[in-house]
A and B are shown apart, each in its own frame.
Chain A
């Protein structure tokens, strides 16, 4: 689930109507000492200071901070969406195609699902196949609290309707290699030229060579 990279100790004596709640579930959460990811050098505005636990469509667990070092084009969607979500993915594919050839292997494309209840790994894989996403793409799911937190970080509004569908922002974000949002396209159709420019700038500014 979610971690903010700020030291936080658990209150060991939380009270519920005067009764001590069982502490066992929290025991494993107790501090284990050292700072996890070296926040050193990471911008104060980096998303990677606040991150959640996600699972990629290939089944691999992922902390978003692992994306550090490469520019990221990121949007939140749900795969059963028949309205703007396929358009968002298409816009991102168009950005990928429009990148200079030498950068295509150095930019990550990430879709994060609003809908962990229906977006199983199988559904995410199916979506990746259907949209012909290559190995530069991650299609991610996480627990609802992690989804909410990522949306808040990105300024994405969303709301689940009684039908199970979602109303949501159509924001496509560009993260620089440090995880700082460097550009956002707020609407569909997206401003592809501006997205390409922002991604290119982020990639050219990157100090880290391709892994």
Chain B
């Protein structure tokens, strides 16, 4: 799958970008990198449901990092890939708010605790980080699946999860610089922390929210904007927490680097044991 392309660009894997590069940094992913936890397969009911069966969409099992990428993690990436320093990143890949809570290009400073989830990162930066880490971003469906499993800490009914989520969202948004703190909210049943109560998180297909017209407008659909988008119906209009997540994703652009938005990594399941590892 790796392939060398025209004019020296190396493009082989998703978002590998490399030009210019140099020798790979052998310590790129240190022992402090987060562990991955298995998320068992299951069904997700997308908030916008057109064309989806009542049971929802089946999501195969996958691996999800047990915590979001931290400032310290992202600093290693930026040090190893100078093109992603905030003074050098091109505007097409990240807005001027990119990493603005850091003291400088390669110093975190007082407002960016090393262990806190990194925020002020664009989708392109998150994708490049994932590529560098030989991982990927979770899809919307994968993220939603993992984030729905809080029976142990919240209780068995969907209503209780909703109440819990809305409460945690109310605490989540604070001023830039202070929002990036470790989340106090409980881990999911599968041991994944920070899915709720911390920063929002990028997903690979954040731009898959196809609704008719401008949600902040007067509610009149503009059917000319989307092909078939006018048919999208909410699966569960009472699920306000899900509505908030989809509304946030639908309002993003790939270059946005918001103070309330970070990311975590996902991977496909490990290959079956017995395969020789090298």
A contact residues vs B (CB 8 Å cutoff): 1-17, 19-37, 39, 44-47, 49-50, 52-53, 63, 81, 83-85, 145, 148-149, 151-153, 155-159, 161-163, 165-170, 186-189
Report Cα–Cα, A146/B209, bound state, in Å: 18
Report Cα–Cα, A36/B278, bound state, in Å: 31
On whether the beta carbons of A161 and B50 are closer than 8 Å, the reply is: yes
On whether the beta carbons of B93 and A6 are closer than 8 Å, the reply is: yes
Task: Give the interface centre of A34, A167, A170, A189 by most chain B CB atoms within 10 Å.
Answer: A167
B258 at interface, CB cutoff 8 A:
no
On whether the beta carbons of A32 and B4 are closer than 8 Å, the reply is: yes
User: What is the predominant secondary structure among interface residues of chain A facing chain B?
Assistant: loop
On whether the beta carbons of B12 and A167 are closer than 8 Å, the reply is: no
Residues on A with beta carbons closer than 8 Å to the beta carbon of B16? 1-3, 8, 10, 29
Looking at the assembled complex, report how far the CB atom of A9 sits from the nearest CB atom of chain B, in whole angstroms. Answer: 5
User: What is the predominant secondary structure among interface residues of chain B facing chain A?
Assistant: loop
Residues on B with beta carbons closer than 8 Å to the beta carbon of A161? 50-52
On whether the beta carbons of B24 and A11 are closer than 8 Å, the reply is: yes
B contact residues vs A (CB 8 Å cutoff): 1-29, 31, 33, 35-36, 50-53, 57, 80-84, 88-93, 123-124, 127-128, 131-135, 204-210, 222, 224-229, 231-232, 250, 253-254, 267, 270, 277-278
On whether the beta carbons of A13 and B29 are closer than 8 Å, the reply is: yes
Residues on B with beta carbons closer than 8 Å to the beta carbon of A46? 90, 92
Report Cα–Cα, A167/B8, bound state, in Å: 36
On whether the beta carbons of A1 and B24 are closer than 8 Å, the reply is: no
On whether the beta carbons of A35 and B19 are closer than 8 Å, the reply is: yes
Report Cα–Cα, A20/B24, bound state, in Å: 15
Residues on B with beta carbons closer than 8 Å to the beta carbon of A4? 15, 17, 93, 124, 127-128
> Would A13 and B28 be within 8 Å (CB), given that A36-B8, A63-B5, A162-B52 are in contact?
yes
Residue of B nearest to A66 (CB): B6
Task: Give the interface centre of A3, A84, A153 by most chain B CB atoms within 10 Å.
Answer: A3
On whether the beta carbons of A30 and B29 are closer than 8 Å, the reply is: no
Report Cα–Cα, A190/B142, bound state, in Å: 35
Looking at the assembled complex, report how far the CB atom of B191 sits from the nearest CB atom of chain A, in whole angstroms. Answer: 14
Task: Give the interface centre of B6, B35, B226 by most chain A CB atoms within 10 Å.
Answer: B226
10 other A-B residue contacts (CB within 8 Å) besides A14-B28, A17-B270, A148-B207: A5-B9, A8-B17, A8-B18, A8-B19, A9-B18, A15-B29, A32-B10, A35-B19, A152-B253, A157-B209
Partner of A11, one of B25, B51, B253: B25
Partner of A3, one of B11, B24, B207, B270: B11
Cross-chain pairs A/B with CB under 8 angstroms, 16 sampled: A3-B9, A7-B19, A12-B26, A13-B28, A17-B270, A26-B134, A28-B2, A33-B8, A45-B91, A49-B90, A152-B253, A159-B210, A162-B57, A168-B210, A169-B226, A169-B229
On whether the beta carbons of A22 and B277 are closer than 8 Å, the reply is: yes
